[in-house]
Amino acid sequence: MSKQTSGKKATQKATGKRNPGTRTGGQGGGRVPAPAAVPAPETGASLAPELSRRRLLGTVGAAGAAGLVVGGAGGALAVTAAQDAAPTALTSIGSTEVAFREARATHQAGITTPLQATGHLVAFDLAPDADRKTAAALLRRWSRTAEELMAGRTPDADTGVALDAGPSSLTVTFGLGHSFFDRTGLTKRRPVQLDPLPDFSADALDPGRSNGDLWIQIGADDALVAFHALRALQKDAAGSARLRWQMNGFNRTPGATAQPRTARNLMGQIDGTNNPKPSDKDFDERIFVARDADQAWMRGGSYAVVRRIRMLLDDWEKRSRHEQEKVIGRRKDNGAPLTGGSETTPMRLDATGSDGLPVIPANAHARIAAPASNQGAALLRRPFSFHDGFREDGAPDAGLLFVCWQADPLRAFTQIQRKLDRGDALSPFLRHEASGLFAVPPAAEPGGYVGRPLLEG
Ligand SMILES: C=CC1=C(C)c2cc3[nH]c(cc4nc(cc5[nH]c(cc1n2)c(C)c5CCC(=O)O)C(CCC(=O)O)=C4C)c(C)c3C=C
Ligand SMILES: [Fe+2]
C-alpha cells in the first residue's frame, strides 16, 4: 500500500524531548531521527550497509556534511529514496520522526511536540448525507494516512511532492467540533466543554472561518511535507466531508539559531516563555482530560481553542520599544520580565518603581494572563504566525494562529480571555477574526483510529 522513504518505521520512544515553546527542556513530542534502514531505490530491499554508506557519503560530500544525520547523537543514518533516483541523505531535520502513537502516551502528537516551521489548520464539514458510519470510515482513513506520512512513508499513487523529504517532524492532530455530535447522532455524548465560547467585546469573528465538524492541525519542519499531508487528507475526505476553512502558518526554522530559543511572533516578542512545562507537577491535570473523567472516550485527550488573531502591525510598530515592553511586561530582546533577571526569571508582580507605580503595569498582557491573576488557570500555547498578503489599505494581513490546549476551556481560555478582554494593553493592537473549539480525543489504540471509542462505543 505504501512506499517507505525514510528507513523502516521508527518504534523508539522519544529522546531529547523538548518544550513546545522553546525547543529545549521539558518533555513532549517524541521526535526521533528515523532509524538506519536503507531501502534500495529499485527493489525496496535493504542495501548492504557498505554500499549504502558509500552512496550516502557521496551525497554528503556533494551537499556538505553539516547537519546530516550520519552517526550523530542518535546514531542514525537516514536516507530517503525517490523511485528511480539514488537515495538522498537526510539531515536531522528531514529524518526526525514523531510517533503517531507512542507506546505509553495517551495523547495525540502535535500538542506537546516542539513547534514546527510550517503549519496548516483545516476544518471540514461532513457531507449532507454523511452519518456516523461515514464519519467513522473517514477518521479511520485519516488516521491511517497520518500514521503512514508521519513515519515518512508515502502512498503508492502519490504526487511525489514529499518523496525525498523524510518525515520532517510531521504531526497530524484530529479534533471534533460541537456540530460533529449533532451530525453523527451523538448529541447526548457531546461534552459540556464543547459548549460555544462566549462572545468577547473585541471579537470580529467570521463564521465562515470559524468552528466546523472536524478539525485537523498539520505541522512539519518542511513546507512540502506539510502540504503533501494536507493534500492527502483532503483526498481522503472526498465524498465524505468538504473543506470549511484553511489557515496556513509558520514559525522559525529549527536549527536556524545555534542555541534553541523560544519563538518570536510577528510583533517581535519572545512568545511562549511562561508556557506550562511537561515537567510541572500539574501539567497533565491542566492540559489533558483526567483518566477518571466521565467521558471515557476523551480520557487523555485535550481541548483546542483556535483563534485567528490579526495584528495591527502599523499601529504597533509606531510605538517605541519602551512602550511595547510595557504593553507585555517583558523586554523585547531577551524576554526577561521588566522586574529584571533573564527570560526564565519569575515576574515580580508586586514590585513598584521610584514613582510608586507597578514596574509591570497593571494592564500588562503577561500580568493579566498569568495564573496568579486567573485563579491558577493556565493553558499551553502552541501557535503559528500567519501572513496572508496585504489588505486594501496596505496593512499586512498578518498575525497569530493562536492554538492553545487545555483540559477545560471554560476554566482556561475563557477565564483568561475574559480577563484580557476587560483591559489588556495588547488588545488595541489585535483583532480576533476567527474562532474554533475542538475536542481532541486521545491517540488511537493500536489497530484503531482517532475517535473510535466514541464512534463505535
Ligand atoms: C486567552 C489567552 C491568550 C491570548 C488570546 C493571547 C494572545 C496573544 N499573546 C501574545 C503575546 C504574548 N503572550 C504572552 C504571555 C501569555 N499570554 C497568555 C494568553 C493569551 N495570549 C498567557 C497565559 C501568557 C503567559 C502569562 C504568564 O503566565 O506569564 C507573552 C509573554 C511571554 C510568554 O510568557 O509567552 C507574550 C509576548 C500575542 C502577540 C497574542 C495575540 C496575537
Ligand atoms: Fe499572550
Reported as a single tens digit per residue, the pLDDT across 247-261 is 999 999 998 888 888
Ligand 1 pocket residue status of 328, Cβ below 6 Å: yes
Residue 329 CA, closest ligand 1 atom number: 31
158 or 92: which leads in pLDDT: 92
- Report how far residue 240's alpha carbon sits from residue 30's, in angstroms, rounded to the nearest whole number: 32
Q: Which of 402, 406, 417 to mutate to test the pocket of ligand 1 (most atoms within 8 A of CB)?
A: 402
Residue of the nearest CA to atom 6 in ligand 1? 402
**ipTM exceeds 0.85:** yes
In a domain, 44, yes or no: no
In a domain, 67, yes or no: no
Ligand nearest to the CA of 21: 1
In a domain, 2, yes or no: no
Q: How much is the pTM?
A: 0.87
In a domain, 28, yes or no: no
Q: Which of 203, 381, 431, 437 to mutate to test the pocket of ligand 1 (most atoms within 8 A of CB)?
A: 381
Task: Report pLDDT for 258.
Answer: 87
Ligand nearest to the CA of 262: 1
Q: Which of 205, 262, 271 to mutate to test the pocket of ligand 1 (most atoms within 8 A of CB)?
A: 271
In a domain, 189, yes or no: yes
**Number of structural domains in the chain:** 1
- Report how far residue 205's alpha carbon sits from residue 209's, in angstroms, rounded to the nearest whole number: 8
Task: Report pLDDT for 255.
Answer: 87
Task: For the chain, give the mean pLDDT.
Answer: 85
In a domain, 125, yes or no: yes
| Distance of CA 42 from the midpoint of ligand 2 (Å) | 51
Domain that holds residue 360: 104-457
Percentage of the chain lying above the pLDDT 90 cut: 74
In a domain, 159, yes or no: yes
Is the model's pLDDT at 35 over the cut of 60?
A: no
Residue-wise burial string across 207-235, b where 16 or more C-beta atoms lie within 10 A, e elsewhere: eebbbbbbbbbbbbbbbebbbbbbebbbe
In a domain, 172, yes or no: yes
Ligand 1 pocket residue status of 414, Cβ below 6 Å: no
Least confident of 94-103, 371-380, 389-398: 94-103
| Distance of CA 415 from the midpoint of ligand 1 (Å) | 13
What are 171's three cell numbers? Answer: 504531526
Catalytic residues: 271
Q: What is the mean pLDDT of residues 382-402?
A: 98
Least confident of 60-69, 95-104, 440-449: 60-69
Is the model's pLDDT at 123 over the cut of 70?
A: yes
Task: Report pLDDT for 158.
Answer: 80
DSSP bridge pairs for 250: 118, 385
Q: Choose among 27, 36, 44, 170: nearest CA to 112.
A: 27
User: In 241-316, which ranges are E strands?
Assistant: 241-250, 302-311
Q: Report which residue type is found at 192.
A: V
- Report how far residue 364's alpha carbon sits from residue 327's, in angstroms, rounded to the nearest whole number: 5
With 0-12 CB in 10 A as exposed, 13-18 as middle and 19+ as buried, what is 255?
A: middle
pLDDT in tens, 75-118: 334 666 555 566 678 989 999 999 998 766 699 999 999 999 99
pLDDT in tens, 329-355: 999 999 999 999 999 999 999 999 999
